[in-house]
Amino acid sequence: MNKISRRSMLYTLAPAAVLGANDTVNVAVIGVGGRGRAHITLAGAQAKCRVAAICDVNQAAQERAVAQVEKMQGHKPKVYTDMRQLFDDRDIDAVSMATPNHWHALGTIWACQAGKDVYVEKPACHNVWEGERMIDAARKYKRMVQVGSQSRTTAIKIRAIELLAQGIIGKVYMAKGLCYKWRPSIGHTPDQPVPPGVNWDLFLGPAPMRPFSQNRFKYNWHWFWDTGNGDLGNQGVHEVDICLWGLGETNLPKSVVSTGGKYVYKDDQETPNVQSAVFDYGERRMVFEVHGLHTGTDSDVAGAGNIVGNVFYGTEGYLAVDPEGFRVFKGRGCATTASAPSNCQREKVMEEKAVGPEGGYDGTAHFGAFIKAVRSRNANDLTAPVEVGVRAAALCHLANISYRLGRKLVFDPARGRFADADANRLLSREYRAPYVVPERV
């Protein structure tokens, strides 16, 4: 039961047919909406990597993706609507999952069972229980599974975490993550007939059957509990992962409390647009905040308008890291006695800026680490293996469970379960047949 809380087990695996350094890796991209088209670009940027197939429940998305592959690589990929048929294709070596959240776990498990390696977008899973099954599947079928936690391959973030481990701010006692991204109201969209070319049954998959509406479809599925996890599980899971990384934490917390609500907007959204979460690890803690409305900056995290980043607090100062770089602040002239704390002033003692576009973010390198592992069969080549992605997602899910139940929850990280029956029921979901995550993979 405690698979998420164990230290990631890195291993060397051998596939049925070992790919050489000069062999072409045939990749299929599943879910070719906005993020999926980015996956096509990332795969196409790798040496000896061929986008051999695409899969989507929407015919219009299929057609756009085919045109993209033809323009980029000069060939027409195979086209699938049902990922199960794609998994039967023996020509495919690896799959890239850019589906909505509720498909991540089952799609990954099916792919592992079919002998495919998997690059899966964040959050790794839609709930805690199915994340555990993903880890089981990766290990049982000896598959390379990389999660789209791209910060793990971003130079400026790696540098900041290395400095924390070296004691740049002393002993770290708290990590804070911020997701201050303004989101417009999604309004109301009526139930309507399923548009031509859309397989709504396959889109919903493991989720309950609902009438089609535009708000439950393109992108706004993030804001419904059936298919998404709110902005905590959307943008926020990146910063949650960085918090864990900087703390060097490989366990789940002892307790969690999350509060907030959906403020101002009167629309179809179910998930909160303002949310705070506190995770207790005993001698240290993690704090996370989602602000989906207008807000200001916080604790020297850079940005204007939309602000995402992390702040680590230590016994000698604090470190703020964000897409623009990181900054280290320490006290100057601080008294060592409690009687004279007013002498303390902060001073920026170090700053490093990210190099390159998008704050040094390098999705190509992150996807490249996956392709390297596909060739080498060495999970040490993965920069965000499935255990890492599932752990970060699990914290988001624990916070959402506390929010939905409206109370603080005690958690047993050794067992991976709450001391609360209602909370434990929300660790998983009722799956809609035949799209069921199996007890045993």
Output the CATH code of domain 153-187+216-360. Answer: 3.30.360.10
pLDDT confidence bin for 2, thresholds 50/70/90 = very low
Let me know how many helices (H) and strands (E) the chain has, helices first. 12, 16
Each domain of the chain, given as residue ranges in start order, spans: 153-187+216-360
Please give the model's pTM, rounded to 2 decimal places.
0.92
Q: Do residues 1 and 417 lie in contact, with contact meaning Cβ atoms separated by under 8 Å?
A: yes
- CA 176 from chain centre, in angstroms, equals 17
**pLDDT value for 354:** 87
Tens digit of pLDDT for each residue in 142-171? 999 999 999 999 999 999 999 999 999 999
Average pLDDT, the chain: 91
Q: Is the pLDDT score of 18 beyond 60?
A: no
Give 255-292 pLDDT, tens digit per residue.
999 999 999 999 999 999 999 999 999 999 999 999 99
- pLDDT > 90: what percent of the chain? 83
Q: List own/partner pairs for 418-424 with CB under 8 A and 24 or more apart.
A: none
pLDDT attached to residue 347: 86
pLDDT of residue 357: 58
pLDDT computed for residue 187 by the predictor: 98
Q: Are 262 and 269 in contact (CB under 8 A)?
A: yes
Q: What is the pLDDT of residues 287-312, one digit of tens each?
A: 999 999 988 777 678 766 688 999 99
Higher pLDDT, 339 or 423: 423
Question: How many angstroms separate the CA atoms of 147 and 390, rounded?
Answer: 8
Find the farthest-apart pair of alpha carbons in the chain and give their distance in angstroms, rounded: 74
**pLDDT tens figures, 38-53:** 999 999 999 999 999 9
The mean pLDDT value for 195-223 works out to 98
Supply the pLDDT for residue 9: 37
